[in-house]
Amino acid sequence: MTDEAELRARVKALEALLVERGLIGTDTVDRIVEVYESEIGPLLGARVVAHAWTNPDFKQRLLADATAACWELDIGGLQGEKLVAVENTPEVHNVVVCTLCSCYPWPVLGIPPNWYKSPEYRARMVAEPRVVLAEDFGVVLGEDVEIRVQDSSAEMRYFTVPQRPAGTEDWDEERLAGIVTRESMVGVAVL
């Protein structure tokens, strides 16, 4: 493995060079990291899902064109150009992976977690999704439930709309958003 000190030096050198060339400002990277670490994350996707659960018209628009529907809630941006929302139902369970690299719907889910980027997840979820869901994530699905593995790419960045749990019929949108997890929107958890 490349030495950590070398990697640190290379990143620092690249940033210094880009600042010197006027391609970025001195605080540009700080600002971006701050935004992605504190403001952009699964809570945005949770708002989208809760809104879809409570507004059938919005859900239709979300499933038809997720990028446009998310913009209705002021959610969008880099890596959000080709968002695709897929709905989990009692019959069909969608789970998201990126086999080539780590394509991920940043505007709704933030920066991908380490397990999503790992070679094991990327390879095994495609080869044996039912086993991975059960053994690695504790999601045991009935044999009658069809599993669809959605392979994200630069053209299609998937996230799932999980099933709304029973017993939440009288909950308002804000309360519903509070129970929607990142894992449920990748399809490796059910609520």
Partner 1 sequence: MKLELPAVPRSNGELVFQSPWESRAFGLAVALAESGALEWDDFRVQLVRAIEDRDPTQPYNYYEYWLNALEQALVTTGVVDTRALLASVKSVLDHPEH
Binding of partner 1 by 131 (CB under 8 A):
no
**Number of residues lying near partner 1 (CB under 8 A):** 58
The Cβ of residue 123 has, within 10 Å, a number of other Cβ atoms equal to 13
Catalytic residue numbers, as ranges: 98, 101-103
Binding of partner 1 by 182 (CB under 8 A):
yes
Selection from 139, 95, 97, 138 nearest residue 117 by Cα = 97
6, 7, 16, 31 from 28: Cα distances, Å: 23, 20, 12, 5
Binding of partner 1 by 73 (CB under 8 A):
yes
Binding of partner 1 by 91 (CB under 8 A):
no
Q: How far apart are CA 191 and CA 178, in angstroms?
A: 11
Stretch of 60-68, 70-78, 130-138, 160-168 lying at the interface with partner 1 (CB under 8 A): 70-78
The Cβ of residue 149 has, within 10 Å, a number of other Cβ atoms equal to 17
Q: For helices 56-64 and 42-54, give the axis angle rounded to 10 degrees.
A: 120
Binding of partner 1 by 17 (CB under 8 A):
yes
Least distance in Å: CB of 51 to partner 1? Answer: 7
Stretch of 47-55, 86-94, 135-143, 160-168 lying at the interface with partner 1 (CB under 8 A): 47-55
Stretch of 60-68, 89-97, 115-123, 163-171 lying at the interface with partner 1 (CB under 8 A): 115-123
In the chain the beta strands, taken as DSSP E runs, fall at 83-87, 92-97, 146-151, 157-161
Least distance in Å: CB of 88 to partner 1? Answer: 20
Residue among 56, 90, 119, 167 that touches partner 1 (CB under 8 A): 119
The Cβ of residue 170 has, within 10 Å, a number of other Cβ atoms equal to 6
Q: Which residues contact 111 (CB under 8 A, 6 or more apart)?
A: 36, 37, 40, 41, 104
Contacting positions for partner 1 (CB under 8 A): 1-2, 4, 7-18, 21, 23-24, 28-30, 32-33, 36-39, 41-43, 46-47, 50-51, 72-74, 78-79, 100-103, 110-111, 113-114, 117-119, 154, 173-175, 177-178, 181-182
